[in-house]
Structures are given as C-alpha cells and as structure tokens.
Amino acid sequence: MKRLKSIFSTLLRISISIVLLVLLFKFNKIDAQALIGDIKSANKLFLAIGLGAFFFNYVLGFLRWRMLIKASGIKIPLGRLISSFSGGIFFSIFLPSTIGGDLVRSVDLAGHTKKAKEVIATVFLDRLSGYIGLVLVVIPAIFLGRNFLADKVVYSSVFVIVVLLVIILLVLFNNYVYCAISRFLTTPNSGKIREIIKDVHQEIHILGSHKRIIILNLAISFLLQVLSPLCVYFIGLALGIKISFIYFLIFLPIIGAITLLPIAIGGLGLREGLFVVYFAKAGVIKQLALAMSLLSFSFVVFYAAIGGIIYVLTVRHRRLQSD
C-alpha cells in the first residue's frame, strides 16, 4: 500500500511539472522553436564558465556537510561520504523539491553508520545553514538594489522567507516554543515520531555548541548563495541578458526558497515559471528567462548524472565486497 502511494505521489508531481510547463508556454506565448534557437546560439565560453562555477558549488556544498559530519563524531571514509552526497544530488532531480536528495543521503548514510539521529541532524543543519546563508545574501541585496527594484511581490517574498527562518530558529533553539510544538504531537500513535524528533533536536543542540564549526558553515553557506546566482549570471550573459548582478542576488535566493516546496519533480515547471515572473521585473524577455532556467537545470542534470554514476559504481563495489 505504501509503495502504491509513493508511485501515485511521484506520478502526480510529474504531472504537475508537465502541466506547469504547458501552461507556461501557452499563457506566455513562448515559441518553442525560437527558444531552442536561443539555447543553441548561447555563448559557449560563458556557458563553460557557468558550468565550472556549478562544480565549485557542489564542492563547497560537500565540504559544508563533511564539516558537520566530523563535528558530530561520525567516523566514515571520505569515499563513502562522497557516495552518499553524490546519490543525494542524483535523486534530487527525481524527487519532489531539492529536499528529496537530503532524504536519500540521510537514509543511505544512516544505514551505513547506524547513527540515524546524528546523520539526520547533520543533514538538517546543512540545509538550515544554506537557508540562513540565503537570507544573509538576499537582505543586503534588496538594500543595494532598492533604487532600481521597488517591487511589492519581491519584498513580500523576502518577508515570508525571513519569517519562516525566524519560526524555524525559535522551534529549534527556544525551549518554550519547542515544548509547545511537541505537545501538538501528543497522540496515541505519535510516540515514535516524538522520540525521533527529540533525539534529533538534542543532536542539533550538540552540533550547535561547536561555535567555530557553525561560523565556518555559515560562511560557506553565504559564499554558496553568492556563487549560485553567479552561475546563473554567466548563463544569462551567454544568452545576451545584460542586467545587474544584483537582480540575480535578489531573485535566485527567492526562487531557491520557493522551489523547496514539494510540488513538482526536481522543481521542474515551478522553477521555470518563477524565473519568468521574477526576471520580467528586471526587463528580461520571458523566452530568454525560460531559456536561462532550462540551461541552469541542464547543468544540474549534468552533475546529477555524474553523481548517479559515482553512486551506482560505489554501491556495486560495496555489494561485490560483501559477497
């Protein structure tokens, strides 16, 4: 029954992605042939720079997680950690939102180390530090871009993102709020869930006590949230989009936060629609905004494919060793 629900959920999200893309093309009157032409004529040098920047993005993301793994006291070979991280990248394009990849690496590494609560805590803090880094980038960017971007939708989006972060931090680090939330889970069947949440919550606090690690983690997160827009900026340049980098520092964190919602497979369709909506505010033609999003996603797929190959080969190697 659970398997059927999982299959149905996946098919539903694939359908949502397809519907979103169809609606995007229809209501924005985007010419598919012209779109393909724009992508084919993109400057190859700028695309290569963008692709290289994407690689450093993943390297920094891995180092950030590894830092938390070491701080938690989990002993694991470097190759095994790379395998789990690569598997997370690969499966994130098939699962709802980028959080799907977090679930994969949590399950994979927890099964290997037999330290589920510690692993889950590191993955959660890894994601949270990325979210904090996002806020640390978008707020100064909004301030710097206030003279040429005064848009209520943008300001409202940033406000919601900040409020959500405050709520998450209160639940995690304020005992009164945490206890109040825990009481809501007091149901006949919630014992196991409460126990898991309690254990993970304790591990997060233990990790949070490593001040130097947390500061370095946030510094990497900040750098990542600057590097990610830079990747897309070079894709934009490849397509002939010449707008201030500030727009990318504002729009990309907002788009990244919204695509965390488990609506579409790998965020496909939702992300493209957001690119069109937000970059139109900077005067970018809808067709070019869509091309920029699709090229960005193609880079993600490229590295996800490499991650998948690494993951499959390492899994096969482990099975051969166990036989």
Radius of gyration of the CA atoms of the chain, in A? 21
The tens digit of pLDDT for each residue in 235-275 reads 999 999 999 999 999 999 999 888 888 777 778 888 999 99
pTM for the structure as a whole: 0.89
Q: Please identify which residue in the block is written with the tokens 């609606």.
A: 23
**At 228, is the secondary structure helix, strand, or coil?**
helix
**Percent of residues in the chain assigned helix, strand, coil, to nearest 5:** 80, 0, 20
Phi, psi of 265 (to 5 degrees): -65, 120
Residue 287 has pLDDT above 80, yes or no: yes
The CA distances from residue 42 to 48, 235, 243, 281, 292, in Å, are 11, 8, 16, 22, 10
Contacts of 176 (CB under 8 A, 6+ apart): none
The tens digit of pLDDT for each residue in 60-105 reads 999 999 999 998 888 888 988 999 999 989 888 877 666 778 888 8
The tens digit of pLDDT for each residue in 6-41 reads 667 677 778 888 888 888 888 888 888 999 999 999
Angle value at C-alpha 87, between 74 and 15, nearest 5 degrees: 135
The CA distances from residue 61 to 178, 185, 321, in Å, are 29, 33, 29
pLDDT computed for residue 3 by the predictor? 62
Q: Which two tokens stand for residue 118?
A: 């510690």
